[in-house]
Structure 1
């Protein structure tokens, strides 16, 4: 009996396999399937970009909302039958996915265990929740909004490639102010690349010192089409921009979160063009009106001042200026007369005082004493004889009386009692006359 071949012992793990002791392909496939089946089912949010229905199974291609990432999903008819409305391309959904490995072909696939469309109400609820959170941070505060320049020289425009919104902004702005210049950035304005594209264009224009204002424009669309303009990343990027930003998204009824954070909201792209640049025709008309008003005010001022001058000229002082001079001349004459009278009065009073004082002085003068019979006797050295002892026999003397001077000679002293009164009076008079001469 033939001996049975020895059974080969396989490596327990993939890391222990070697070229001499490899795994059978079937074993690798089984282990991969077992490992993949351990992964739990996961709920994801995505957008349906492809949908192929075949009998009882449908093949979907889901794409991430914010990135270029796609995944193929197989969904059984029983799952789709639970939906109230048929699933369509472009729908936003949340799906429960579980990976599955097909051993026979070695193909990995994703099985859709459940799928639910994200309704309009859910999207609005998410946007409203984000709106409240951003408003609480102060991103929508009117005080942080920057004023637009009165006349921007260069406008940054972020819009779709060759879109009607771009044409509306360019055409209407150029019609209003032909000298305006644009720096245009054409980006995707819907889909997964919209948010990143708009943010990149915004940052580029914000760093360009030539750009005075930035306009983000897009035409109308469904709520799903306008979702990128309510994305939190884009809203924060606009809030951080140093250049004023104008939001011109959709129509009047559309109001994404970008409208709340922008420095100015325009209802449409055409409205944005009208609000960021003035109308040259209107400005010229305003200049004309201002010039007309200015001319009218100047004429009114001239007429009013002319009437005032005419009224002033009718006043007596201006009609006959000499009247004012004559009245002032009369005042000056009256004042001069009063001053002259006052001076004369003072002069007369002081003259009387001088006469009185002169009379007093004359009454007390030495001459009056001489007139009363007194005399002054002097020696040769003109010293005054004050005592009889100063006079000897033959002493030359000079005697002054009221009528003049004469000389004499002394004959010796006389008795004191006989001459004492006269001598005393003569001595005082001599002293006074000597002081007067001095």
Structure 2
């Protein structure tokens, strides 16, 4: 195969010869430090190589860059699209496709990229300490007595917060502490203003507000000393730095993050119109609930009053009076029946007792003869002449003296009956 030097119109060099020559030439080049911006990152599943596109920061020129997955994953902070980097890479030419690429051996952040890397490392360290723990976030008061505001004097952020808060709640009161919101003295002045407002008993919430700016302008609000001061403050802090895309570390440690100073004004005070409408709605609901309760109770009262017992209370008394009368009559009949039976029993017992009583015998004309000692004389044989005797009759006693006694024959039946 002829060399490229010997190639002529009649004996041209094949494509492969040109491709191989270029590959050999590029392979003789050493590693080079290249500065650019990461335009694209492609991590393919299951591959140990990461594919990136490095774009020139001024001209519209880009070149593919590859690196090992191990190198890419070890970068802290991780490389993201848009980061400015300096790459130590060796050029390589892929002959089969005719493409030139760089194989990166080292990747370092530079300029803004290096600044973002430092901020990312700081964020990771403070997060590991727990300064950004959501459990530490405090709720904002519904209606603060005083609102502390830290901002630059005569700034647009100050006007936004004061005007929007006054429109939402005209009675709101602010305690404004001015501080530099940019430059090397900014962090120290904001920390001093925060300490003053945090000591004020009447201040219920503190707003740190600043308008938008570059990453370098917002760098004081990622200062570690300021972050620790906000973390230690006893008063809830609202971070209102920059616009929605801006994300200083103050947003992470503050109790509430507002996207703009205007949004901060909406967070710290309620809207009077909304609250008035809410109160009116609650009054209407309460009135409706009370009317409904009264109507329900009135319906219950009407139902109770419509009952016969409530329409004429004497009805129950009359019914109970009849029942009492019947029970009284029944009790009287029962008692009279018991008394009659008891009287009959007493009469029977009295007749039996009278029949057995000696008085009944005496009443029939019989008498009881007793000697002077009161012993009953049952036989004439024991009575001598001149013996003092006592005769017991029905209504008294008769004292007598025996003259004579005479025995009379008693039938056998009588003897057996008297023993």
CA offsets 1:303-346 (integer angstroms, 9 cap, x no match):
33333333443344434444433333333333333333333333
CA offsets 1:417-438 (integer angstroms, 9 cap, x no match):
x9xxxxxxxxxxxxxxxxxxxx
Deviation, 1:353, is 3.0
Deviation, 1:410, is 5.7
Query: TM-score with structure 2 length normalisation?
Result: 0.62
In the aligned structure 1, how far is the partner of 2:349 from the partner of 2:248? 117
1:385 to 1:260, Cα distance in 2 relative to 1, 3 A: same
In the aligned structure 1, how far is the partner of 2:197 from the partner of 2:190? 11
1:321 to 1:410, Cα distance in 2 relative to 1, 3 A: same
Q: Is the 8 A contact 1:391 1:411 kept in 2?
A: no
Query: What secondary structure does 1:155 align onto?
Result: strand
Q: How many residues align?
A: 306
1:289 to 1:360, Cα distance in 2 relative to 1, 3 A: same
Q: Is the 8 A contact 2:153 2:179 kept in 1?
A: yes
CA offsets 1:342-397 (integer angstroms, 9 cap, x no match):
33333333333323333343334342354473516375xxx734689x99976765
Q: 2:329 maps to what in 1?
A: 337
Asked if 1:227 is matched to 2:201, the reply is: no
Query: What secondary structure does 2:243 align onto?
Result: coil
1:360 to 1:132, Cα distance in 2 relative to 1, 3 A: farther
Q: RMSD over aligned Cα, in angstroms?
A: 3.7
Q: 1:266 maps to what in 2?
A: 258
Asked if 1:288 is matched to 2:280, the reply is: yes
In the alignment, structure 1 segments of 5+ residues that lack a partner are: 1-82, 86-115, 419-438
What is the aligned counterpart of 1:139 among 93, 106, 131? 131
Deviation, 1:227, is 1.8
Q: 2:120 maps to what in 1?
A: 128
Matches within 5 A, 1:34-433: 118-368=110-360, 370-371=362-363, 373-375=366-368, 377=370, 379=372, 384-385=374-375, 398-409=390-401
In the aligned structure 1, how far is the partner of 2:239 from the partner of 2:118? 21
Q: Is the 8 A contact 2:369 2:376 kept in 1?
A: no
1:197 to 1:356, Cα distance in 2 relative to 1, 3 A: farther
Query: TM-score with structure 1 length normalisation?
Result: 0.60
In the aligned structure 2, how far is the partner of 1:376 from the partner of 1:169? 141
